[in-house]
Homo-oligomer: A and B are copies of this chain.
Amino acid sequence: MGLIVKEFGGTAVGDLDRIRNVANRIVKTYTAGNNVVVILSAMAGITDGLIDMAHKITPSPDKREMDVLLATGEQTSAALLSITLMSMGYPASSLLGHQAGVMTNCAFGDARIVDVGASRIKEYINNRRIVIVAGFQGCDEEGNITTLGRGGSDTSAVAIAAAIDADSCEIYTDVDGIYTADPNICEKARKMNKVSFDEMLEMASLGAKVLQIRSVELAKKYNVPIHVRSSFNEEEGTMVMDVDSDMESPVVSGVTHNKNEARITIKTVPDQPGIASKIFSAIAEAGILVDMIIQSSPTDNLNDLSFTVPKKDFKEAMKIGKRVGSEIGAKDVLGEDSVAKVSVTGVGMKSHHGVAAKMFTALANENINISMISTSEIRISCVIEEKYAELAVRALHSAFGLDKEE
């Protein structure tokens, strides 16, 4: 007997047959004596269809109205699932975001949850009803409909699980769980049984394909363990949870890569206060997110400054770099858009030395040159030539003992 939150993605509710499968899964948990709160995404393809329709009207539709439009997707799937459960003889009620008390700020299209007043959910649960909440949506304090951004249903699920103090939060996706590396490029990648919130956050490039990364931040904040699993089979997936760094934690739990970055280097800038500020203020004003920043040690009071930006912003960032570079008297501004970032992540790293050395050696053994390095407490990232990305992932995966047994 427990209180279980289950979230199903768009593929899981892609048509009426699949909705019936989801209903059967819910009934199985419910008839075992549990209370069940379900958070639903829109049926696969619906959200994209609505966006396309709005873009036929204008390339930049009003954001408030887009949220009104997009919220219909989850409203539809929630009603259809409730109808299905009721037709099978089980008591079910749908709740839209505002009815479930999902209060957000007013950042339409990418709203943040500020509170979940789940009184209606609790009332239904107390009456042994199955509650179906439309995910991805909430409302601001003026009662406007808001949406939480792509993958927002994950965040809805974690926020609601926290608000009702659920015993478990299961997120059903179209993959089996979180892998030690992208299985598409590393066939020896293994499904992890568990991964810590911190590792999951560092492995954003892996995790983002499975979980909205904000849902992990929220899960960490409220300590809500997430069980990521497949909606197409009964296998256990991956627990994303608060794992302490202990003797058993692997030093490295996963290897990730990201090919969506480009590198810019501003050569020999004066080693003066305010130089970095000038460059990165200009970049930020253009709305470009900088990832890594490396400054070399000063030689003759001159530095090299390198940073990475998303590949799509590369041209504009170069333009800004050249403009600011000439203002501050830089010798040259160099760009390279065929780079990749490979990272190893693991909470075990906190208490182990030599992880970086092992990483550099593994890459060197494959003759892969490293052009930038950055580290966090539980992650080491290297920027390398893009063409070596897959090779690097496989080499690191083997070097850190992650390969699955034959």
Residues of A whose CB lies within 8 Å of any CB of B are 16, 19-20, 50, 53-54, 56-58, 60-62, 64-66, 68-69, 71-72, 75-76, 78-80, 82-84, 86-87, 93-94, 96, 99, 120, 143-145
Contact A99/B65 with A54-B80, A58-B87 known, Cβ cut-off 8 Å: no
| Residues of chain B contacted by A62 (CB below 8 angstroms) | 82-83, 86-87
Contact A99/B143 with A69-B76, A83-B62 known, Cβ cut-off 8 Å: yes
| Residues of chain B contacted by A72 (CB below 8 angstroms) | 72, 75-76, 79
Which residue, of A50, A64, A76, has the highest number of chain B Cβ atoms within 10 A?
A: A76
| Residues of chain B contacted by A82 (CB below 8 angstroms) | 62, 65, 68
Contact A84/B71 with A79-B66, A93-B64 known, Cβ cut-off 8 Å: no
Is A61 a contact partner of B83 (Cβ separation < 8 A)? yes
* Distance of A231 from chain B, by nearest CB (Å): 19
Which residue, of A64, A78, A120, has the highest number of chain B Cβ atoms within 10 A?
A: A64
Is A83 a contact partner of B99 (Cβ separation < 8 A)? no
Give the top 5 A-B pairs by smallest Cβ distance, nearest first: A58-B87, A69-B79, A72-B72, A68-B79, A62-B86
The CA of A68 and the CA of B71, in the complex, are separated in Å by 12
| Residues of chain B contacted by A93 (CB below 8 angstroms) | 64-65
The CA of A76 and the CA of B47, in the complex, are separated in Å by 12
Tell me the nearest residue of chain B to A70, going by C-beta. B79
8 interchain pairs (CB within 8 A)?
A16-B56, A57-B87, A58-B83, A58-B87, A61-B87, A64-B93, A68-B96, A72-B75
Tell me the nearest residue of chain B to A91, going by C-beta. B62
* Distance of A402 from chain B, by nearest CB (Å): 45
| Residues of chain B contacted by A84 (CB below 8 angstroms) | 57-58
Contact A57/B75 with A94-B65, A96-B68, A99-B143 known, Cβ cut-off 8 Å: no
Is B65 a contact partner of A86 (Cβ separation < 8 A)? yes
| Residues of chain B contacted by A58 (CB below 8 angstroms) | 83-84, 86-87
| Residues of chain B contacted by A76 (CB below 8 angstroms) | 50, 69, 72
* Distance of A136 from chain B, by nearest CB (Å): 14
Which residue, of A66, A69, A94, has the highest number of chain B Cβ atoms within 10 A?
A: A69
Is B69 a contact partner of A83 (Cβ separation < 8 A)? yes
Which residue, of A65, A75, A87, has the highest number of chain B Cβ atoms within 10 A?
A: A65
Contact A83/B71 with A99-B143, A143-B99 known, Cβ cut-off 8 Å: no
Is A66 a contact partner of B53 (Cβ separation < 8 A)? no
Is A65 a contact partner of B53 (Cβ separation < 8 A)? no
| Residues of chain B contacted by A50 (CB below 8 angstroms) | 76
| Residues of chain B contacted by A68 (CB below 8 angstroms) | 75, 78-79, 82, 94, 96
Is A83 a contact partner of B65 (Cβ separation < 8 A)? yes
* Distance of A368 from chain B, by nearest CB (Å): 49
Further pairs besides A60-B87, A61-B86, A62-B83: 4, Cβ < 8 Å: A53-B80, A57-B83, A58-B83, A68-B75
The CA of A54 and the CA of B19, in the complex, are separated in Å by 12
Which residue, of A53, A62, A78, has the highest number of chain B Cβ atoms within 10 A?
A: A62
Tell me the nearest residue of chain B to A62, going by C-beta. B86
* Distance of A230 from chain B, by nearest CB (Å): 24
